[in-house]
Structure 1
Amino acid sequence: MTDDLRLVDVESKHLDDVYRVRSRSFGLLSAGDREEWLSDVQGFIDDGRIVGVVDGDELVAAARIWAFQQWWGGRKVPMGGVAGVVVAPEYRGRGVGSKLMRGVLARSVEHGYPLSALYPATTVIYRHLGYEFAGGRFRYTFPAAELRSLGGKEVSVRRAGPADAKRFLELVGQLHAAARISGPLVWPEDKVAEWLGEENSFCYLAEDGFVVYGWQSGKLRVEELVAGSEATARALWSVVGSGSSISADVEAYMSPDDPAHLLVNKEADKNTVIEHWMLRLLDAPAAISARGFAPGASLEVDLELDDSELAANTGRWHLSVSGGSGSLTPSTSTGEVLRLGSRGLSALYSGTPLATMRRAGLAWGGATAGDGAIDTAFAGATSYMLDYF
Structure 2
Amino acid sequence: MRWMELEIRQLTEQDYYERMALSQFAFQMRWTDDQLKQRKQTYLPEQDWGVFDGANKLMSALTLLPLEVWVQGKKMAMGGVAGVATWPEARRQGCVGRLLSHALETMRNEGQSLSMLHPFSFSFYRKYGYELTIERKKYAIPTRLLPSRKETPGEVRRMAKPDVAVLDAIYSTYASRYNGMLARSADWWTERALHKEGAAVVYFNEEGSPEGYVFYDCLDGKMTVHEIVALDETARTALWTFIANHDSMIGETTLFAPIDDGFPYLLDDPRIGQELIPYFMSRIVDAEAFAKQYAWEQGTGEESVLLRLEDRHAPWNDGTFRLSWSKEGEGTLERVDGAADSGADAISCDIQALTAMLLGGRKPTWLASVGRVSGSAEGLKRLERRIPERTAYLMDFF
- TM above 0.5, yes or no, is yes
Distance 1:82 1:73 in 2: 22
Report the Cα offset of residue 259 of structure 1. Answer: 4.2
1:49 aligns with 2:16: no
Q: TM-score, normalised by structure 2?
A: 0.86
Q: Any unmatched runs of 5+ in structure 2?
A: 205-209
Q: Show the counterpart of 1:189.
A: 186
| Partner Cα distance (1:344, 1:162) in 2 | 44
Q: 2:154–2:203: 8 Å Cα contact kept in structure 1? A: no
> Per-residue deviation at 1:296?
6.6
Identify the residue that residue 345 of structure 1 maps to in structure 2: 354
Aligned partner of 2:316 in structure 1 is: 312
Give the TM-score of the pair, scaled to structure 1: 0.88
Give matches, 1:143-158, under 5 Å. Answer: 143-147=142-146, 149-158=148-157
Larger helix proportion, structure 1 or 2?
1
Shift in Å at residue 62 of structure 1? 0.5
Q: Does 1:301 align with 2:300?
A: no
How far apart in 2 are the matches of 1:360 and 1:118? 25
| Moved segments of 4+, more than 6 Å | none
Please give the secondary structure, in 2, of the residue aligned with 1:258: coil
CA–CA distance in structure 2, aligned partners of residues 119 and 197 of structure 1: 19
Render the CA deviation track for 1:194-237: whole Å, top value 9, x for unaligned: 54586523332323222222236752122222222211110011
* Distance 1:175-1:8 versus aligned 2 partners, 3 A rule: closer
The Cα offsets for residues 22-44 of structure 1, whole Å up to 9 and x where unpaired, read as: 1221123232543444344x22x
Residues 320-331 of structure 1 correspond to what in structure 2 (within 5 A)?
Answer: 320=325, 322-323=327-328, 325-331=330-336
Correspondent of 2:247 among 244, 247, 260? 244
The 5-angstrom pairing of residues 13-92 of structure 1 reads 13-31=14-32, 32-40=34-42, 42-43=43-44, 45=45, 48-56=46-54, 57-92=56-91
Verify the 8 A CA contact 1:343 1:362 in the aligned structure 2: no
* Residues 1:386 and 2:386 aligned together: no
**For residue 340 of structure 2, what is the aligned residue in structure 1?**
334
Instruction: Please tell me whether the aligned partners of residues 135 and 277 of structure 1 are also in contact (alpha carbons under 8 angstroms).
Output: yes
Paired with 2:316 and 2:396, the residues of 1 have a C-alpha distance of 31
The 1:295/1:216 distance shift into structure 2, 3 A limit, reads farther
- More divergent stretch after superposition (184-193 vs 141-150): 141-150
Count, aligned residues = 382
Partner of 2:260: 257
Q: CA deviation at 1:9?
A: 1.2
* 2:349 alignment partner, SS class: strand
Shift of 1:84: 0.3
Following superposition, the deviation at residue 2 of structure 1 comes to 4.8
Residues 239-274 of structure 1 deviation map (CA, whole Å, 9 limit, x = unaligned): 122222222221112212234343224456434151
List runs of 5+ in structure 1 lacking aligned partners. Answer: none
Does 1:230 find its partner at 2:230? no
Q: Which has the larger radius of gyration?
A: 2
Question: Does structure 1 conserve the Cα–Cα contact (< 8 Å) formed by 2:145 and 2:272?
Answer: no
Q: AA paired with 2:202?
A: Y
Q: Which residue of 2 aligns with 1:165?
A: 164
Secondary structure of 1:17 counterpart: helix
- Does the CA contact (< 8 Å) of 2:7 and 2:53 recur in 1? yes
**1:304-348, Cα deviation, whole Å (9 max, x unpaired):** 222222222233122316445533344586342101221122112
User: Given that residues 17 and 59 in structure 1 are in contact (C-alpha distance below 8 angstroms), is that contact kept between their aligned partners in structure 2?
Assistant: yes
Farther-moved stretch of structure 1 (198-207 vs 123-132): 198-207
